[in-house]
Chains A and B, each alone.
Chain A
Amino acid sequence: MFYQPVSYVSNFFGWLISPLLNFLKRILRPFIKWVLRRTTGLCELQRTCYCEPSGASRILGIENSLKQSKSVKVHTLLQFLDLAAREKRLTAAGSAQIIRNTVETICCIKKIHLDAHRPFTKLFGECVSIIWSLKQLLHDLEEIRTTAYDSSNMEHEKKLLELWNLLMPMKELDCRVSNLWKDIGFQGDDPKTDFRGMGLLGLENLHFFAKNYPEVALQVLSHSNHPIHGYSFAIVGINLTHLAYNLWKDGTAKSHIYNICCHHLQIPGPTLLHFHRFYCYLFIEFDKLWIAEKPATIMEFGRIRSKFENDIRSLLSNTNCLFKLNIPVEHV
């Protein structure tokens, strides 16, 4: 190994400078905010709403600003919203009232004149609605995930058999416990043990993919059955549920989620549908990467999986990120 002065110097600066900058930012933030407030006559929330373009950059700005607020009143308000999300009160009927109350409370705390700042109240309300709808959706996802696959539950069984019929329209399943399940990439003769930590969410994701994008799903399935560069479709699918779930849970996917909500004017906020579509995007892109990498054996899965995750994370780190389903068209 050679001594590399350049990397040491840059490492040294990395260690020293970035914490220092963060420290300075933290110290100077209130001062900068105060100056801007005095000069523009607007609070940070207003400046974010008026200056940032619609989508992730505005909503993330609002979210950070609220989170970093030192006001006790703002924190009480945030707790109230968190509770509403946990109790699933952000429904079509209940949401409007909660959002209106939130906007009025913030205007009161920040001394914003409601009538003079009509555009602000509208934009801010939209941001609040999307932020807390996402939180509520995460609780929903958690519930589906922690629902274990139960073979005595008729609904679960029905969905599983439907998945078979969607993926194998030409082939009848001989019996419920069958080695044929391996043809769509389950590990053994009974898929019930394969859902594990992803519970029903894994099945719902696979089912959505096969049902809503049947052609693509069948194409991906056929790629997965390649004799040399193949992989287990269902197992990889469940693994990708885990990835999608993690990206939503840890907030990495927020850039995409917030952008898609604004672009599609889904004002109340993201729904389960968005999660499923995000999953389908991941599956299609993973399949592409897998084929491009031409792995010698399935044992390379770990390496390709982490490469894929890194790629997706770096795409999502851009606030303008918006994943669009690329439905591949193969020449016949």
Chain B
Amino acid sequence: MGLLALLRKLRASSEQELRILLLGLDNAGKTTLLKQLANEDITHITPTQGFNIKSVQSTGFKLNVWDIGGQRKIRPYWRNYFENTDVLIYVIDSSDRRRFDETAEELSELLNEDKLEGVPLLVFANKQDLLGAAAPSELALGLALQTIKNRGWQIQACCACTGEGVQDGMNWICQTIKKK
């Protein structure tokens, strides 16, 4: 093993690595969120065919964030990425009221997955800047988040475009993991 690789390994072991899964319907804002987390340009985003992955440093953690496309056609592949997930982030377009039922259904299916049992859930109520965006409290009711007993959960209002609220959500993740 080369000296550089050895050094890299030593450095990496000092911080905990987390596997974070980013899911949600198409056009929810998952890729924008991912790019926002990685401090990258968000003005050239295209719909995700397949998936994106990025590693982000955050307060003592190395977050490996998996952003999987949300198109109905590729939702069946979501399950291939469940294994060893530390935190599930579910992104919702708070202004797309037409599809609230669809997004609630997908989320409840995810929460019933064996491989995701006990995995903390962070719901991002995205696009709060848009007119007619539902408040997080309204969304929590619609998603029946109160009935979740077997895992930690949190709903966080955010706007992935400006980054508002994103850091608060990430702080919750770090606190939840440290408590574990």
Proximity string of chain A (261-304) to chain B, C-beta cutoff 8 Å, 1 when within and 0 when not: 00000000000000000000000000000000000011111100
State whether the Cβ of B180 lies closer than 8 Å to any Cβ in chain A: no
Closest Cβ–Cβ distance, residue B155 to chain A (whole Å): 23
Partner of A239, one of B2, B46, B72, B77: B46
CB closest residue in chain B, given A302: B50
Contact B50 A235 (CB under 8 A): no
Contact of B49 among A197, A202, A236 (CB under 8 A): A236
Judging by beta carbons under 8 Å apart, are A231 and B49 in contact? yes
* CB-CB under 8 A for A299 and B45, given A1-B1, A188-B72: no
Q: Which of B27, B50, B70, B80 contacts A301 (CB 8 A)?
A: B50
CB-CB under 8 A from A229, the residues of chain B are: none
Asked if A242 is an interface residue, CB under 8 A from chain B, the answer is: yes
Rounded to whole Å, the gap between the CB of A229 and the closest CB of chain B is 14
Nearest B residue to A232, CB-CB:
B49
A188 to B70, CA, bound (A): 10
Does A89 lie at the interface of the complex (its beta carbon under 8 Å from any beta carbon of B)?
A: no
Partner of B50 from A1, A245, A298 at Cβ < 8 Å: A298
Given the contacts A1-B5, A187-B26, A188-B26, A182 and B73 also touching, CB distance less than 8 Å: yes
B43 CB-CB contact with A under 8 Å: yes
Task: Assign chain B's interface to a size class.
Answer: 20 to 34
Interface pair A242/B46, CB less than 8 Å apart: yes
Q: Is A138 an interface residue (CB 8 A)?
A: no
Instruction: State the Cβ distance, A139 to closest chain B Cβ, in Å.
Output: 16
Q: Quick one: given A298-B74, A302-B52, are A187 and B47 in contact (CB under 8 Å)?
A: yes
A291 to B163, CA, bound (A): 39
Supposing A187-B27, A188-B26, A188-B27 touch, asked if A299 and B74 sit within 8 A by C-beta, the answer is yes
A196 at the interface (CB under 8 A from B): yes
A196 pairs with B49, CB closer than 8 A: no
Q: Identify the closest chain B residue to A240 (Cβ).
A: B46
Q: How far is the CA of A196 from the CA of B45 in the complex (A)?
A: 6
Bound-state Cα–Cα, A197 to B44, Å: 4
Q: A1-B5, A187-B26, A188-B72 are in contact. Are A301 and B45 (CB under 8 A)?
A: no
Task: Report the bound CA distance from A196 to B44 in whole Å.
Answer: 8
B77 / chain A contacts, CB cutoff of 8 Å: 297-299
B71 interfacial by beta-carbon distance below 8 Å: yes
Docked complex Cα distance between A300 and B51 (Å): 8
- With contacts A188-B26, A299-B51, A301-B50 taken as known, whether A232 is within 8 angstroms of B71 at the C-beta atoms is yes
B34 to chain A, nearest CB (A): 13
Q: Quick one: CB contact mask for A157-196 with B, threshold 8 Å, 1 for yes? A: 0000000000000000000000000100001100001101
Given A239-B47, A242-B44, A299-B51, does the pair A193, B27 have CB atoms closer than 8 Å? Answer: yes
Give B50's nearest chain A residue, CB to CB.
A301
- A-facing mask of B22-40, CB < 8 A → 1, else 0? 0000110000000000000
Which of the listed residues B1, B49, B70, B73 has the most CB atoms from chain A within 10 Å of its own CB? B49
- Tell me the complex Cα distance, A196–B77, Å: 23
Chain B hits for A182, CB < 8 A: 72-73
**Which of B42, B44, B45, B50 has the largest number of chain A CB atoms within 10 A?**
B50
Within 278-332 of A, Cβ neighbours of B (below 8 Å) are at 297-302, 305
Residues of A within 8 A of B70 (CB): 187
Bound complex: CA of A202 vs CA of B26, how far in Å?
18
**A232 & B45 in contact (Cβ 8 Å cutoff):** no
Residue contact B47 to A235, C-beta cutoff 8 Å: yes
Cβ-defined contact, A194 with B49, below 8 A: no
Instruction: Verify if A198 is at the interface (C-beta below 8 Å from B).
Output: yes
State the CA gap A298–B78 with chains docked (Å). Answer: 12
Q: Is A130 an interface residue (CB 8 A)?
A: no
B73 contacts A238, C-beta separation under 8 Å: no
The 10 closest A-B pairs by CB, nearest first: A301-B50, A187-B71, A187-B26, A193-B27, A197-B45, A197-B44, A301-B49, A302-B50, A235-B47, A299-B50
Please name 8 pairs of A and B residues whose Cβ atoms are closer than 8 Å in the assembled complex, sorted by A.
Answer: A194-B47, A196-B46, A197-B46, A202-B46, A297-B77, A298-B73, A299-B50, A300-B50
Residues on A facing B (Cβ under 8 Å): 1, 3, 8, 182, 187-188, 193-194, 196-198, 202, 231-232, 235-236, 238-239, 241-242, 245-246, 297-302, 305
- A238-B46, A299-B74, A305-B50 provided; 11 other pairs, C-beta below 8 A? A1-B1, A1-B5, A182-B72, A194-B47, A196-B47, A197-B43, A197-B45, A232-B49, A297-B77, A299-B50, A302-B51
